[in-house]
Structure 1
Amino acid sequence: MSIDNRPLPGYYSIISGGTAGVTELLIMYPLDTVKTRMQLKGGATAAGANNGVFSILSNIVKTEGPLRLYKGLLSPIFLEMPKRAIKFSATDEFRKIYGEKLNWGPSPKLQVISGISAGVLESFLVTPFELVKIKLQDPNSAFKGPKDVISSILKSKGIIGMATGLEATMWRQSVWNAGYFGSISHIKSLLPQVSPEEKGKTLFNNFIAGTIGGTIGSTMNIPFDVVKSRIQLSGQGGSALSEIFKIAQKEGVKTLFSGWTPKILRLGPGGGVLLVVFDQMMGMFRDIHYKKI
């Protein structure tokens, strides 16, 4: 995704993607807590689930303490490095595969299909960590930490219980990737073109493209995010699509966009942070790698 497109070994994109993911997570995680509370069925009344984002943030800090905003952080911290590594490196690898096997040149279609493929792959890793995080973010949760959650799931449902919400997670990850990677190149083409030497302007373009891409991806996938959160909290539910129709019929379409504001506030700018950090890391590695050569 950098202007300099000289190829690099895959491990560079793994390190760059992981670093980008952890950076974004540490900056934006409190908004993820608010988003989850808005989405969970029954409403986080103690957190002011029906109020605005900043009202909920303030209420959590006042009633539960600021550390509550980071409850469940340990699980995604362990997840973020491999998850983002898969997201970026697998998307790059699928681009190469589809480009060579199907003779597809650079295009939105290539970006979308590659992103979807990477999303399906990363879901197998993401699901157990998301399950633990959701259980801990529930305001009614009595769990003390990730170990407590995992022990409870294994006792009640066995190892298969750790895959609760897998199908919904596949939809969520794939749709986000399709919107994000599928839009970035087009958005960049609409921005003022800059040379590789104009690093400040390149960073700005990347941040704008990543932010818009993150907003598009988050808006497209939020119904699946809502369904995933509910399935993982309750441990029950049918297919993601059937649950979406069920929620729409019983609670209205608006419910499928619960938590949209904090999600956009996180993953809009968060998408910008991801792209900027990833591109900067890859640029640094490219300089190091080719200087060595």
Structure 2
Amino acid sequence: MNNSSSELLISFIAGGAAGTAVDVSLFPLDTLKTRLQSKQGFLKSGGFRGIYAGLGPAAAGSAPNAAVFFCTYDFIKRNTCPLVQESWKPVVHMFAACCGEVSACVVRVPVEIIKQRCQVAATTSVSVVIRSIIEKNGFRGFYQGYFSTLLREIPFSLIQFPLWEALKSYWISHRKARGFHDELGASQVAVCGAIAGGISAGLTTPMDVAKTRIMLDSSPGRVNSVISVLKEVYASQGIKGLFAGVLPRILWISLGGAIFFGVNEKTKLFLFPYVVI
């Protein structure tokens, strides 16, 4: 196996491990965030009951979702960064993150729809939710909200990944100025991920609210646009509605960023001696 294939395999495994670690460990926070953003409100969506509803599809989809993202991101970054000047690297990171999101959403969106509908109907089984989607909207029902998800994920990644890379570069430069010449450890990479994730999460909450509302709408054949949903939320709940669930989202993604980037980095460091020859 050549170095390029080995590094791609490492990205695939590390991304999958990181995604699973985040989705399983922080699932209750995700449930609370979804219920706060739902049209029927927190209590009618289940409140604090059944906070692990939907964990099955989330756990099953998290590894391939994260693996596809990181394979795409690392492949583009690794092959493009050496060709550009230092000042253009943030642009490469943005482009790589966008491509990663477009690819990963093919897996993520069906999982998100099933998971979120289970989260706001804690007594409904996964099989019932899947049958309901097929009966009302057919196969395309599993991709309801695909573009609204991209409209959330792409701005999020445009902020998160360049910020994450910049924080790492700043920390490495600061360490070198103090006489340390080794690379950052997994825990330090995790701290950068937590900061970048928390800031990105707060700024993109309105798009997350719109995505959640669209995915939870089970009306047969109905198609909501992001703009119309945002207008509806603002008209009924104002700015507060647009930022519904912002605190659990920031907490979830800050902790998730630390776990995700930390596990990803730790897994890469562990696998590298065994995979790359």
The Cα of 1:13 is off from its aligned counterpart by: 0.5
The Cα of 1:241 is off from its aligned counterpart by: 3.3
Q: Percent same amino acid among aligned pairs?
A: 26
Could you tell me how far apart the structure 2 residues matched to 1:132 and 1:47 are?
A: 15
The Cα of 1:222 is off from its aligned counterpart by: 1.7
1:120 aligned residue (62, 85, 102): 102
Gap regions ≥5 residues in structure 2: none
The Cα of 1:44 is off from its aligned counterpart by: 2.3
1:257-268 → structure 2 map (5 Å cutoff): 257-268=243-254
In the alignment, what sits opposite 2:42? 44
Instruction: Check conservation: 1:176, 1:221, Cα contact below 8 A.
Output: yes
2:238 aligned residue (232, 252, 273): 252
The Cα of 1:33 is off from its aligned counterpart by: 0.7
Could you tell me how far apart the structure 2 residues matched to 1:47 and 1:12 are?
A: 40
Could you tell me how far apart the structure 2 residues matched to 1:124 and 1:11 are?
A: 20
In the alignment, what sits opposite 1:159? 139
In the alignment, what sits opposite 1:276? 262
Instruction: Check conservation: 1:73, 1:133, Cα contact below 8 A.
Output: yes
The Cα of 1:245 is off from its aligned counterpart by: 3.5
Partner letter of residue 233 of structure 1? L
Could you tell me how far apart the structure 2 residues matched to 1:203 and 1:14 are?
A: 17
The residue matched to 1:148 in structure 2 has which SS? helix
Could you tell me how far apart the structure 2 residues matched to 1:223 and 1:44 are?
A: 17
Could you tell me how far apart the structure 2 residues matched to 1:203 and 1:92 are?
A: 17
C-alpha distance 104-92 of structure 1, shift in aligned 2 (>3 A)? farther
Instruction: Check conservation: 2:81, 2:89, Cα contact below 8 A.
Output: no
Partner letter of residue 35 of structure 2? R
Structure 1 runs (4+) greater than 6 angstroms displaced: none
Q: Deviations over 1:243-288 (max 9, x none)?
A: 2234224421221111111111111021011111111111112222
In the alignment, what sits opposite 2:157? 177
Instruction: Check conservation: 2:213, 2:229, Cα contact below 8 A.
Output: no
1:1-293 → structure 2 map (5 Å cutoff): 8-45=6-43, 60=48, 64=49, 68-96=50-78, 98-99=80-81, 103=84, 105=86, 107-139=89-121, 143=124, 145-191=125-171, 192-193=174-175, 194-196=180-182, 202-235=185-218, 236-290=222-276, 293=277
C-alpha distance 184-257 of structure 1, shift in aligned 2 (>3 A)? same
TM-score for both structures, normalised by structure 1: 0.82
Instruction: Check conservation: 1:116, 1:178, Cα contact below 8 A.
Output: yes
The Cα of 1:71 is off from its aligned counterpart by: 0.7
The Cα of 1:36 is off from its aligned counterpart by: 0.5
Gap regions ≥5 residues in structure 1: 1-5, 49-55
The Cα of 1:156 is off from its aligned counterpart by: 1.6
Could you tell me how far apart the structure 1 residues matched to 2:102 and 2:24 are?
A: 25
The residue matched to 1:241 in structure 2 has which SS? helix
Partner letter of residue 274 of structure 2? I
Could you tell me how far apart the structure 2 residues matched to 1:150 and 1:112 are?
A: 34
Instruction: Give the RMSD, CA atoms, in angstroms.
Output: 2.3
C-alpha distance 251-205 of structure 1, shift in aligned 2 (>3 A)? same
The Cα of 1:97 is off from its aligned counterpart by: 5.3
Of 87-96 and 264-273, more deviation after overlay is shown by 87-96
Q: Deviations over 1:183-236 (max 9, x none)?
A: 112112333425437xxx723321210101111221232212111111111134
Instruction: Check conservation: 1:94, 1:118, Cα contact below 8 A.
Output: no
Instruction: Check conservation: 1:115, 1:181, Cα contact below 8 A.
Output: yes
Instruction: Check conservation: 2:14, 2:268, Cα contact below 8 A.
Output: yes
TM-score for both structures, normalised by structure 2: 0.86
Instruction: Check conservation: 1:132, 1:146, Cα contact below 8 A.
Output: yes
